[in-house]
Chain A
Amino acid sequence: MLREVLLSLLGGFDQSLQLFCYTLMGALPLGLLIAFGSMTRLRPLREAVRGLVWVVRGTPLMLQLIVIYYGPGLLANGAHLWGGGGTGRMAAAATAFIINYACYFSEIYRGGIESIPRGQREAGQVLGMTRSQIFFRVQLLQVYKRILPPMGNEIITLVKDTCLARIIAIYELTYAGQAYIKSHGLIWPLLLTGVFYLLFSGILSWLLRREEQRLSYFE
């Protein structure tokens, strides 16, 4: 029985892990783009981007997930944009998660960029560096160091948020554990999923802490 449960939970964990990875791969760069958008001097673009961030951060991820999965189909007369199968559902979930997390990340990026003293940019400028040289060679690592702790928090939250994907029938970790309540009247498989989550977020915390220590040589 334990073997069977473990295999089934591993299958669920695989789905959760996929969603986690897609979200990070998409939301980390997209968030930076959104951050630049929310800081641009072009006022209409800036207002539009800040409006988007406000909407996405102000509504539940679960709601966004449902709208993104079912919305296009309803608009297009029942034709299924995402395709019916597991791949389609995962694509929809990843899209919703990426947009949601990119908006949270963008605020962290923006705070990080704005917290770098103006003197850093000006020092680069009088030394004749170009704007992109200043960003990549002077500011970026300082921003990275500053945003690491809040980013870490969001990433740990993401580990646990992946279980929301069950609402569009993705067979993720929590779902896999809960199934045993109905089918066998067992609770311990669900509790066992907790161990998976703890291990995963524990490893991530450890990696993040190591990264923070690696960067502790400068202030």
Chain B
Amino acid sequence: MPYLEITGLGKRFGSADVLHDVSLTLNQGQILSLIGPSGGGKTTFLRCLTFLETADRGIIRLNGETLFDAAQKKAKGKRPRQQAFGLVFQAFHLFPQYTVLENVALAPALAKKGTKEALRAKALTLIEKVGLADKADSYPNTLSGGQQQRAAIARALAMEPDVLCFDEPTSALDPLLTKEVLNVIRLLREEGRTMIVVTHEMTFAREASDQVAFLFGGTVAELGTPKEIFETPRTEALQRFLQQ
């Protein structure tokens, strides 16, 4: 049985059927890259997964547990367990009034995940892991984009999400900073974290992921290993997408 199982996810905004029928599975410890043309619904998909939007149709199952089922969401009426999925935003969205350390430690403290000292120590470990040990007490506006994004990754990790999602984590960064962020994601992969990464970095998708999904026309038009997707694309749409 797959770790993450998404079946028939659908989302429309008014008359625009953005996600039509998105289904995919992912094993624990794997990293899935999500590629596709702009406006294809990649962000919308991640937002449904992290419950920032409520999908109109579909089921999300994680580790055997049904986290979301559009058919019974009204009947159940309870808020989905939001922290199952972490999200790293394209534009970071760090809390500007807090230092890096405070940004990382805030949510776990509010969720009473441990004593103050324990949470602080854990936050510092995460900050060190993303290579920001010397910036723990800095405010976000004094950091480079790459540093801010790494801080945002540490913040997301602090809530111990089962699946960590990234929405184009490097598209606001220049190439040099892109590398340092992608290296952190590679490091997390070695730790065996389950991740979904929306990306335009084809080299990264090819080298660093276990699975690649091509989102087109509101569905997963192709799903396969990087080798399958990049070397033997089956659909014409993917062939065209890879050529540009």
Contacts and interface: CB of A to CB of B under 8 A. Distances in A.
Interface residues of B, number: 25
A217 B93 contact: no
A145 B96 CA distance: 11
Contact of A137 (B83, B85, B106): B106
Given A119-B93, A219-B96, A126 B52 contact: yes
B62 interface: no
Interface stretch (A127-135, A153-161, A181-189): A127-135
Which of B87, B95, B141 has the most chain A CB atoms inside 10 A of its CB?
B95
A122 B111 contact: no
A218 interface: yes
A138 interface: yes
A24 B24 CA distance: 57
A138 B87 CA distance: 17
A219 B96 CA distance: 6
A127 B93 contact: no
B211 interface: no
B93 A218 contact: no
B139 A217 contact: yes
Given A117-B93, A120-B95, A218-B96, A126 B86 contact: yes
A113 to B, nearest CB: 15
Nearest to A130: B110
A137 B89 contact: no
Contact of B89 (A119, A133, A138): A119
Contacts of B159: 127-128
B195 to A, nearest CB: 15
Contacts of A124: 107
Nearest to A122: B52
Given A126-B85, A128-B107, A119 B96 contact: no
13 contacts: A122-B52, A122-B89, A123-B89, A124-B107, A125-B82, A126-B52, A128-B111, A129-B107, A137-B106, A145-B97, A217-B139, A218-B139, A218-B141
Interface of A: 117, 119-120, 122-130, 133, 137-138, 141-142, 145, 217-219
Interface of B: 50-52, 82-83, 85-87, 89, 91, 93-97, 106-107, 110-111, 139-141, 155-156, 159
